[in-house]
C-alpha cells in the first residue's frame, strides 16, 4: 500500500504531493538562492524567538499534566540558548560552499565519451521526530542547503513548538521566493499516522526517524520508503589494563555532555579482569559524585554488593540517562565480540596505551565510528571544520556515521559523448 493509505486524509496527502512537486523545482535552484533562503530562515527565527518560547511553554505545561517522562521533557524544553544555537547553525550552513552538482571522477569511462559524476538532491526527505522541536529547523537548513524538500512530522508533545517553528521558516522561504511546498509540516491535528507517511515511496525518497529506539524501530517496520536509521546512546568503552582510570572517567563524563540528546553517550563499560578493585571503586565514586547511577554484571555485583545488577536485556538497550553499566571481560577479543553483539554500533571507544590494541580495536569493532583515547561526545555544531550534523546513523545502507550534508545527497553518473551518432 502506498498512496492509497493517505487518501482518507486529503490534507495530509496534499502535503506529500506538494512536497514532491516542489522538489522537482527546488532541485534546480542555484546555490546563491538557497544560501539566501537559509539566511532568511535564521533571521526569521531570531525575530520569532519570543513567540516560539511562548508556544514551547504551552507544550511543556500540557506535557507535565500528562506525566510525560523527564527524558522527553528535557528534549522538549526550548531555551533562548537552544534557539540561538539553532540560529548559529543556520548561519554557518549559509556560509558553507554549495555542495550540489559538485563534479567528481567517474568510476569508469565509456569509449569515445567522457564520464563524470555529480552530487544531486535526493528529492523529498521526511523527518519523523519526537520532542526536540529545534531539530526541525536544523533539518530544514540541511535540506535547503542540499536542494531537498522536507516534510516534518513531529510528536504530539511538541505540537505548538513545531507549528511555531514551521510557520516561521515557511514565511522566510516564501519571502525569498522558494517554491511553495519545499518545507511541509504535518500537524498532529491532521490525523495522518506515521505509517501513512513512511509508506509514500512514490513521493518520499528518504525517511529519517529521530528519537527513542521504539520510534526508530516502528518506522523501520512500517516504511516502504528508504529509511536512514538514527541511533542514540548505548555506546561502549573498553578499558584496557594499560588504560588510565582518569581518562576513562573523563571520557565517560564528557560523552554525556551533548545537549539535549545524549547521542554518543557511553552507557556500557567493558573492563579487563586485571583492573584493580581500588581503581574500580575510585572510578565509581567519582562518577556517582557527578550524578551517575552505576550498575554491574553478576560478577561485579557479587564482589561489590552495593552495585545494582544490570539485567541481560540492558546490555543491548540504551538508557538515555546518566546510567553506566560495567562488565568484566577476559581480553580484548572478548570485548570486541561482546561490543559487536550489543552496542548500538555508531560510536564506541577504547582507552589503552597499547598501539597494537588500538589498531586491533579499530579494525575489529563493527561500528560507524571508533574512538581511541578520545571522547565520542556528539557535536551537532562542531567548533572546528565545516560540518553540521543532524545525528548519527548506525546502518550500513544509505550512509553510515554522522548525518550531514552529503548524507542527504545522491550521485548522478553522466556520460558525455564526443560526437553525435
| Residue in 138, 127, 195, 190 with CA at minimum distance from that of residue 159 | 190
Q: What pLDDT, on a 0 to 100 scale, did the predictor assign at position 385?
A: 67
pLDDT for residue 419 = 65
| Number of helices followed by number of strands (H, E) in the chain | 14, 16
Taking the CA atoms of residue 99, residue 171, residue 73 and residue 288 in that order, the dihedral angle to the nearest 10 degrees is 40
Distance CA(263)–CA(249), nearest Å, equals 18
Q: Which residues of 242-271 are buried (b: 16+ CB within 10 A; e: fewer)?
A: ebbbebbbebbbbbbebebbbbbbbbbbbb
Question: For residue 377, what are the CA distances in angstroms to 77, 130, 353, 392, 399?
Answer: 21, 22, 21, 11, 20
| 3-class DSSP assignment, residue 235 | strand
39 Cβ contact partners less than 8 Å away, ≥ 6 residues apart: 90, 91, 94
Helix axes 80-95, 134-145, angle to 10 degrees: 0
- DSSP-based three-state secondary structure for 309: strand
Say what the alpha-carbon torsion angle 381, 213, 322, 276 is, to the nearest 10 degrees: -110
Strands (E), 122-233: 124-129, 149-154, 183-185, 206-210
Q: Are 171 and 163 in contact (CB under 8 A)?
A: no
Measured distance CA(183)–CA(347) in Å, rounded: 31
Kindly give, in sequence order, each residue whose CB lies less than 8 Å from that of residue 243, ignoring residues fewer than 6 positions away.
350, 351, 352, 353, 373
The four Cα atoms 404, 395, 220, 63 give a dihedral, to 10 degrees, of: -50
Q: What residue ranges define each of the domains in the chain, with the CATH number in brackets?
A: 3-102+120-228 (3.40.605.10), 235-372 (3.40.309.10)
What is the model's pLDDT at position 3?
Answer: 46
289's CB contacts (< 8 A; 6+ apart) are none
pTM: 0.92
DSSP summary character for residue 227 = B
What does the alpha-carbon distance between residue 40 and residue 43 come to, in Å, rounded to a whole number?
A: 5
* DSSP assignment string, 35-90: HHHHHHHHHHHHHTHHHHHHHHHHHHHHHHHTT--HHHHHHH---HHHHHHHHHHH
For β-strands 391-393 and 401-403, DSSP reports them as antiparallel
59-98 burial code (b ≥16 CB/10 A, e <16)? bbeebeeeebeebbbbbbbbeeebbebbbebbbbbbeeeb
Query: With left for phi above 0 and alpha for psi between -120 and 50, is residue 191 left, alpha or beta?
Result: left
- Which three cell numbers mark 105? 571522477
The C-alpha atoms of residue 287 and residue 251 are separated, in whole angstroms, by: 11
Handedness of CA 223, 228, 233, 234 (dihedral sign): positive
* One pLDDT digit (tens) per residue for the chain, 421 residues: 344 444 446 677 888 999 999 999 999 999 999 999 999 999 999 999 999 999 999 999 999 999 999 999 999 999 999 999 999 999 999 999 998 877 777 777 777 778 888 889 999 999 999 999 999 999 999 999 999 999 999 999 999 999 999 999 999 999 999 999 999 999 877 767 888 899 999 999 999 999 999 999 999 999 999 999 999 999 999 999 999 999 999 999 999 998 889 899 999 999 999 999 999 999 999 999 999 999 999 999 999 999 999 999 999 999 999 999 999 999 999 999 999 999 999 999 999 999 999 999 999 999 999 999 999 999 998 876 678 999 999 988 777 899 999 999 998 888 888 765 5
Please state, in angstroms and rounded to a whole number, the distance separating the CA atoms of residues 16 and 86.
Answer: 26
Take residue 244 and report the three cell numbers written for it: 588510565
Using DSSP, state whether 125 is helix, strand or coil: strand
Amino acid at each position: 500500500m502506498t498512496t492509497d493509505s493517505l487518501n482518507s486524509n486529503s490534507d495530509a496527502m496534499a502535503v506529500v504531493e506538494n512536497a514532491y512537486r516542489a522538489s522537482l523545482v527546488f532541485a534546480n535552484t542555484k546555490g546563491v538562492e538557497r544560501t539566501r533562503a537559509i539566511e532568511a530562515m535564521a533571521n526569521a527565527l531570531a525575530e520569532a524567538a519570543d513567540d516560539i518560547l511562548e508556544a514551547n511553554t504551552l507544550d511543556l505545561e500540557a506535557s507535565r499534566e500528562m506525566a510525560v517522562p523527564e527524558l522527553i521533557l528535557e528534549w522538549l524544553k526550548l531555551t533562548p540558548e537552544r534557539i540561538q544555537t539553532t540560529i548559529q547553525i543556520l548561519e554557518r550552513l549559509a556560509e558553507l560552499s554549495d555542495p550540489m552538482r559538485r563534479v567528481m571522477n567517474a568510476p569508469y569511462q565509456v569509449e569515445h565519451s567522457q564520464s563524470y559524476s555529480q552530487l544531486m538532491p535526493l528529492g523529498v526527505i521526511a523527518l519523523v521526530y519526537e520532542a526536540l522541536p529545534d531539530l526541525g529547523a536544523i533539518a530544514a537548513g540541511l535540506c535547503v542547503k542540499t536542494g531537498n524538500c522536507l516534510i516534518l512530522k513531529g510528536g504530539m508533545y511538541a505540537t505548538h513548538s513545531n507549528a511555531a517553528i514551521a510557520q516561521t521558516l515557511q514565511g522566510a522561504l516564501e519571502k525569498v521566493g522558494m517554491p511553495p511546498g519545499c518545507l511541509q509540516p504535518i500537524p498532529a491535528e491532521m490525523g495522518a499516522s506515521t505509517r501513512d507517511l513512511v509508506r509514500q515511496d512514490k513521493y518520499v525518497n528518504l525517511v529519517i526517524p529521530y528519537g527513542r529506539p521504539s520510534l526508530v524501530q516502528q518506522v523501520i517496520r512500517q516504511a516502504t520508503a528508504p529509511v536512514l536509521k538514527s541511533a542514540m546512546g548505548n555506546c561502549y568503552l573498553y578499558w584496557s589494563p594499560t588504560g588510565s582510570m582518569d581518562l576513562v572517567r573523563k571520557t565517560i563524563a564528557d560523552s554525556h555532555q551533548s545537549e539535549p540528546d545524549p547521542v554518543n553517550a557511553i552507557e556500557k563499560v567493558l573492563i579487563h579482569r586485571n583492573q584493580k578493585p581500588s581503581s574500580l571503586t575510585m572510578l565509581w565514586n567519582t562518577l556517582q559524585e557527578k550524578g551517575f547511577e552505576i550498575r554491574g554484571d553478576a560478577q561485579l555485583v557479587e564482589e561489590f554488593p552495593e552495585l545494582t545488577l544490570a539485567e541481560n536485556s540492558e546490555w543491548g538497550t540504551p538508557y538515555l540517562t546518566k546510567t553506566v553499566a560495567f562488565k568484566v571481560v577476559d581480553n580484548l577479543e572478548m570485548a570486541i565480540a561482546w561490543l559487536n553483539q550489543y552496542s548500538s554500533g555508531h560510536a564506541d571507544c577504547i582507552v589503552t596505551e597499547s598501539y597494537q590494541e588500538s589498531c586491533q580495536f579499530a579494525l575489529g569493532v563493527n561500528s560507524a565510528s571508533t574512538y581511541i583515547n578520545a571522547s565520542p561526545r556528539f557535536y551537532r555544531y562542531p567548533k572546528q571544520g565545516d560540518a553540521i550534523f543532524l545525528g548519527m546513523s548506525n546502518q550500513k545502507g544509505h550512509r553510515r556515521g554522522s548525518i550531514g550534508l552529503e548524507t542527504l545527497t545522491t550521485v548522478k553518473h553522466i556520460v558525455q559523448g564526443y560526437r553525435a551518432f
